[in-house]
Amino acid sequence: MKTMSCKQLGGACDETFHASTFEEMSELSKQHGMSMHQKNDAAHLKAMQEMGALMKTPDEMNKWFESKRKEFEALPDS
């Protein structure tokens, strides 16, 4: 299991997620983001807007995603 924070994954808080694969980590982050969106959390909404802007450029989004995957893979197992 590896641990990453919401902030490490492009979010707005220090909540941590624990997963065995990057895909699982991405899903946990996505679920957290949806929960924060439903709560209209201003900091998370701002982070989502920034991510949305990044998604408009597929090449930049892919680079960001791969950098996060490498960051995940470099983490020690906890």
pLDDT digits (tens, 9 = 90+) for 13-24: 999 999 999 999
Beta bridge partners of 29: none
Residues 6+ apart with CB under 8 A from 27: 19
Name which of 68, 33, 38, 66 is nearest 52 in CA terms.
Answer: 33
Question: Using one digit for the tens of pLDDT, what is the confidence trace for 30-76?
Answer: 999 999 999 999 999 999 999 888 889 989 999 999 999 999 999 99
Overall number of domains in the chain: 1
Burial label for 24, CB within 10 Å (0-12, 13-18, 19+), is middle
Domain containing 62 equals 2-74
Q: Which pLDDT does position 78 carry in this prediction?
A: 79
